[in-house]
Amino acid sequence: MIASVLVANRGEIACRIFRTCREAGIRTVAVHSDPDENALHARVADAAVRLPGAAPADTYLRGDLIVKAAVAAGADAVHPGYGFLSENAGFARAVQDAGLVWIGPPPEAIEAMASKTRAKELMGVAPLAGVTEADLPVLVKAAAGGGGRGMRVVRRLADLDAELSAARAEAASAFGDGEVFVEPYLENGRHVEVQILADTHGTVWALGTRDCSLQRRHQKVIEEAPAPGLAPGLTDELHDLAVRAARAVDYVGAGTVEFLVADGRAHFLEMNTRLQVEHPVTEAVFGIDLVALQLRIAEGHALENDPPRARGHAVEARLYAEDPARGWAPQTGRLHRLAVPDGIRLDTGCSDGDEIGVHYDPMLAKAVAHAPTRAEAVRRLAGALERSAIHGPVTNRDLLVRSLRHEEFTSGHMDTGFYDRHLTALTEPAPDPLAPLAAALADASARTGRFGGWRNLPSQPQVKRYAVEGEEHEVRYHHTRTGLTADGVRVIHADGDRVVLETDGVRRSFDIARYGDRVHVNATTLTALPRFPDPTARHAPGSLLAPMPGTVVRVAEGVTEGATVEAGRPLLWLEAMKMEHRITAPATGTLTALNAEPGRRVEVGTLLAVVEEHAD
C-alpha cells in the first residue's frame, strides 16, 4: 500500500493529484522551484522540498534532485503528472532504482512511445525522410514532450531550415531533447484521442473518445468527451488501434493515443505515456477518478474486465493568462480573484492573491461542465465562464465563451483550423457599453457616499475616463438631491461594489471590483485613466515594445543598428512561459535603435528596437 506520494510537477496537476491522495489518506510531498516557493501546490502538500533555481532545466527537469527529495521526505512513490519528466524513461528508472514506486508505465513502454518517431515506426507510420515542394505543407514536430512546443507548420520550402532550427531550440529548452521530425500536415482534420488504462494483469480499457480540435499553436484550448459525430465504425476502429498500441508495448497505467481524423479515416499521431491535461472530461463521462485508478494499478490491483458505461457529455475549457487578440501573448501579474459558479468543476494551481509569473505555462485553470447532452454541457460551460469572477491579468475567457457559442462548434463540425478561420471575429472587442458608467458610479459612491457629492447649485457633470479594449470611453454623470444620475439611464442603486441600472425599462446589475487603476465590471475589464494624460508617455513611430515580460533568447543574424530591414522580418525572439515569441519589423526601413541582447530580462513595454520607415 502506498503511504506517501511525491508529485514531480507543479501547478494545477500537482494540486489535482494531491486532492485524490488526500481522499485516499495518502500523505503528499511537493517539490518547488524558487519562484514557486509560495505556489498553491507547495502550500497544500503535507511537505515540500525546494529545487534551487527558476528555469525548468535547473528544477523540474532535474530528475536526480527530485529523487533525492522523495527519499529525504520519506515518500514511497512518485507521480510525474504531465509535462516535465512524465515521459522520461531515465527518470522512471531512477525512481525505481531508488526503491520507490513509479506511478506510471514501465520505462520500456515510455522509451517505445515517448519518442514520436519511434512510436510511428511501431505503428507502421514513417516520418518524411526528405521534403519536396510536393510534400508541402509539412509539420515540424518535437520528438519528445507536447503542449505545442517545438512545433512549426511550414508552407514554403525556403522556410524549412529556419523552422527546423527554431523547433530544435524550443524543444531543447522545454524538454531537454532537441530531436525533431517532419510529417505531412493534414489541414482541417479533427484531433481525436482515446484514453486507455491498463493494469499488470493484462486488462486494457479504452475509455471512449475525446475531441481536442480547437487548438492554437497546436496547443489544446477546448476538449470534450465523447468526440461528437463519429461514425460507430470509426469509434470502434479508434478503440482497437489504441488497445493495439498499448498491448504492443505491454503498457501499464493511464495513457492516451492521439489521432488526426480526416476524410473519415484515422491517422495515428502519437501515444502520450502519461495522464493528459484533458483527463477530467473522461472522468466526468465515465464517473471515475483516473488518478485513484493509477494509484490502485501501481499497488498491483486489477481492473474490472470491462470499463464502466459512459453517461452524458463533458466539455473542458483551459483558462490562460494570455491575450488572444495580441498574438496570444502571455500575461503576468496578481490574480486577485478566480471563482466560477456552483456546478462547474475547476481544476487550478492558483488561488486568490497569487502572482502569475513568467517562468511557466500561463494556464490558470481548467473549467469542466458535465450534462446529459452535448448541447446542455456546452451551454452550461459557456454561461458559467461568462459569470465567473476572473480579476487580474488579461485572460482568454471571452475567447472561450465565444468559441463555445460559435455555430461551427455548437453544430459539432469544427476542426483544427477553427481559429485560423475565426480568430479575428472571435477577438473583436465587444465590451459592455454600460460598464464604464457602472464603474464611474461605483467609484463616485465609494468616494462620496450616496449624497456626499450633491450641491444645491447647478453644476457641471462629473467626468471620468476609462480605457476598454484599447479604446477610450468618457463617462458623464451628476450628483443630485436624490443621488447619482446619468442621462438616459436610471440609476436604481450604486455603491462601491454593486450598481443597478435601468435602460428602456430593462434593469441590469453590475458587480464591481477595483484593484489600483484596473476595474472589473462583470466580465468587462477597464483601466481608469488619469484626468489629464501624461504627455511623456509616448514612443517614436516604429518603436517595438516588449509585449510581455520575458528573456531575449536570440537576435536575428545581421540585425544591428543601421541595418535595413524588411517588413515582417524577424528581428529577435523573446522566451516567456516556455514559449518563444518572435518580434518582427513593423515596416521596411532602417533599424535606428536596438536595445536587446541575448539573456536580457525585459518587462512589458520595454523598448526593444526602433524601425524608421523608409519614405517610399
DSSP state letters, 113-137: HHSHHHHHHHTT-PPPSS--GGG-S
- The pTM assigned to this predicted structure is 0.83
Identity of the residue numbered 450: R
Give the integer Cα–Cα distance in Å for 151 and 479.
58
Q: Read off the pLDDT of residues 394-442 as tens digits, 9 standing for 90 and up.
A: 999 999 999 999 999 999 999 999 999 999 999 998 889 999 999 999 9
- Paired sense of beta strands 77-79 and 101-102, if any: parallel
330 has pLDDT over 80: yes
Beta bridge partners of 267: 260
Torsion of CA 552, 553, 557, 562, to 10 degrees: 10
What domains are there in the chain, each with its CATH number?
4-103 (3.40.50.20), 127-184 (3.30.1490.20), 190-426 (3.30.470.20), 435-528 (3.30.700), 543-613 (2.40.50.100)
Name the percent of the chain lying above pLDDT 70. 95
305 sits in which H/E element: none
121 has pLDDT over 90: no
Q: What average pLDDT does the chain have?
A: 91
Task: Report yes or no: 18 and 91 within 8 Å, Cβ to Cβ.
Answer: no
535 has pLDDT over 50: no
Handedness of CA 292, 33, 366, 149 (dihedral sign): negative
Closest residue by Cα to residue 282 from 259, 307, 265: 307
Torsion of CA 257, 262, 267, 270, to 10 degrees: -40
Give the integer Cα–Cα distance in Å for 61 and 477.
57
User: How much is the pLDDT for 147?
Assistant: 62
The arrangement of strands across the sheet holding 550-555 comes to 579-584, 570-576, 550-555, 601-602
Task: Report yes or no: 255 and 246 within 8 Å, Cβ to Cβ.
Answer: yes
Q: Read off the pLDDT of residues 175-201 as tens digits, 9 standing for 90 and up.
A: 778 888 888 787 789 999 999 999 999
Q: Predicted confidence band at 537 (pLDDT cuts at 50, 70, 90)?
A: very low
In the structure grid, which three cell numbers stand for residue 119, read together? 512510436
The phi and psi torsions of 198 (rounded to 5 degrees) equal: -135, 140
Give the integer Cα–Cα distance in Å for 290 and 279.
8
| 449-460 average pLDDT score | 52
Q: Phi-psi region for residue 30, left (φ > 0), alpha (ψ -120 to 50) or beta?
A: beta
Active site residues: 274
Task: Report yes or no: 610 and 592 within 8 Å, Cβ to Cβ.
Answer: yes
Give the integer Cα–Cα distance in Å for 522 and 240.
47
Q: Predicted confidence band at 354 (pLDDT cuts at 50, 70, 90)?
A: very high
Burial (0-12, 13-18, 19+ Cβ within 10 Å), 491: buried
Closest residue by Cα to residue 2 from 299, 252, 200: 299
Beta bridge partners of 319: 365
13-44 CB burial, b ≥16 within 10 A, e <16: bbbbbbebbeeeebbbbbbbbebbeebbbbeb
Beta bridge partners of 256: 195, 272
Give the integer Cα–Cα distance in Å for 417 and 406.
14
Give the integer Cα–Cα distance in Å for 39 and 45.
11
Task: Determine which of 311-320, 406-415, 474-483 has the lowest per-residue pLDDT on average.
Answer: 474-483
Gyration radius (Cα) of the chain, Å: 26
Identity of the residue numbered 448: T
* Count helices and strands in the chain by DSSP H and E runs: 15, 38
| 495-509 average pLDDT score | 95
User: How much is the pLDDT for 72?
Assistant: 98
Q: Read off the pLDDT of residues 579-603 as tens digits, 9 standing for 90 and up.
A: 677 899 988 999 999 988 888 888 7
- Paired sense of beta strands 550-555 and 570-576, if any: antiparallel
Give the integer Cα–Cα distance in Å for 257 and 271.
4
Burial (0-12, 13-18, 19+ Cβ within 10 Å), 221: buried
Q: Read off the pLDDT of residues 246-302 as tens digits, 9 standing for 90 and up.
A: 999 999 999 999 999 998 889 898 899 999 999 999 999 999 999 999 999 999 999
Handedness of CA 85, 206, 286, 208 (dihedral sign): positive
533 has pLDDT over 60: no
Exposure of 556 in the CB half-sphere (CA atoms within 13 A): 22
| 17-37 average pLDDT score | 98
Q: Which residues, 6 or more positions from 227, have their beta carbon under 8 angstroms from its beta carbon?
A: 190, 192, 209, 210, 211, 235
Q: Phi-psi region for residue 4, left (φ > 0), alpha (ψ -120 to 50) or beta?
A: beta
